[in-house]
Amino acid sequence: METLSLLWSMMAEGILISFASAIFLPLIGGLLYLRRQAFLGVAVPQFSAAGIAAGLALLPNFPSLQQNFLDHGHPPLSYLFLFAGGAAGLALLIFAWIEKRSRHASVEGHMAAGFALAGAASLIFLEWSPSGGTLVDTLQRGSVVVADHHALSIVLAIFGLVALLQWRYWRGLLLVSFDRDAAHVQGFSSATYDLLFHIMAGSAIGIGVMTLGPVLVFGLLFLGPWMSRPLANSMRQFFALIVINSLLATGLAWPISFHLDLPYGPVTVALLAVLAAVASVAFKLRPRRG
């Protein structure tokens, strides 16, 4: 209890951001899983990281923002989100366009190529950035040390938008992701709901990479759906298990990372992997029906 109290006094904003991310990023990952586009969960965060690097490279062209960086140790996160979320949304639109046009080519191949190019662009932009390397290294390690009340406000605003879209359009988003033909029969426009999903995913992934780093975003997008699918008997159970497992790993990672003096992001991903192994054993041991 003393450890939790100390963590809360030091990093209350980071803790709140991590739990909000553990709810909404896994839901995005679950929809990606149903859409059979899980590899987007790798490629799009890398584009978001490249966008952050581009924003840092351009920062000296804005003297007031550069001074803010020097005064506070990090640039205004509202400025960085324009690049992080914009790059994620642009990547989603590009891959969606490629998927529609490439009937016979491998979409996964295009995503892999995009991942490589985004990684190269990140390194190039960081070389042009006079003071962004330390910040990006912090984000890559998932230390969550740059989270403050400004970051918390932006995260809550973005996830609030995502929550509103999910609440209002969840049935259509779910049906279009799972069965496009059935969605069309019931009057749901695939193009409209694809656009809504891209807005949600781009915003959530962008804010996640900007505050938690790509490593933790990868884990929250992938590992929850992967471990929950074998244990779920319905769609509702599937998404409930995704969120429960992600919240459990997120909560346990804080005291463990503190006591072991390890960065928070990798510890959370490691715990998600442990939960996945436990889920796999439980799936094999549970009694079969019929």
Convert the pLDDT of each residue in 20-47 to its tens digit.
999 999 999 898 888 887 777 777 888 8
Say which residues have a Cβ less than 8 Å from residue 156's Cβ, sequence separation at least 6.
20
Of residues 132 and 79, more confidently modeled? 79
> Where residue 244 falls among pLDDT bands split at 50, 70, 90?
very high
Is residue 290 domain-resident? no
Mean pLDDT, the chain, integer: 80
> Where residue 247 falls among pLDDT bands split at 50, 70, 90?
very high
Is residue 22 domain-resident? yes
| Pairwise CA distance, residues 238 & 251, whole Å | 20
Q: What is the DSSP string of 7-67?
A: HHHHHHHHHHHHHHHHHHHHHHHHHHHHTT-TTHHHHHHHHHHHHHHHHHHHGGGSHHHHH
Of residues 266 and 38, more confidently modeled? 266
Provide the residue type at 150 as one letter.
Answer: H
In terms of DSSP H, where are the helices of the chain?
A: 2-34, 40-58, 63-72, 77-101, 107-128, 133-141, 149-178, 180-185, 190-212, 214-228, 235-260, 264-285
pLDDT computed for residue 243 by the predictor: 92
Domain count, the chain: 1
Is residue 289 domain-resident? no
> Which of 2-11, 37-46, 148-157, 171-180 is most confident?
171-180
What predicted TM-score, i.e. pTM, was given to this entire model? 0.81
Is residue 117 domain-resident? yes
Has residue 146 got a pLDDT over 70?
A: no
For the domain that residue 88 is a member of, what is the CATH number?
1.10.3470.10
Mean pLDDT of 151-171: 87
pLDDT computed for residue 70 by the predictor: 67
pLDDT computed for residue 101 by the predictor: 73
Mean pLDDT of 36-61: 81
Question: Residues 34-38: contacts with CB within 8 Å, 24+ apart?
Answer: 34/174, 34/177, 34/178, 35/177, 35/197, 37/95, 38/221, 38/222, 38/225
| Pairwise CA distance, residues 264 & 144, whole Å | 7
Mean pLDDT of 150-164: 85
Mean pLDDT of 223-252: 87
Q: Are 282 and 157 in contact (CB under 8 A)?
A: no
Convert the pLDDT of each residue in 184-235 to its tens digit.
888 888 888 888 888 888 888 888 887 887 888 888 888 888 888 877 888 8
Is residue 45 domain-resident? yes
Burial class (CB in 10 A: 0-12, 13-18, 19+), 73: middle
Convert the pLDDT of each residue in 97-126 to its tens digit.
777 776 555 667 777 788 788 888 887 887
The boundaries of the domain holding residue 159 are 2-284
Is residue 134 domain-resident? yes
Of residues 272 and 97, more confidently modeled? 272
pLDDT computed for residue 103 by the predictor: 57
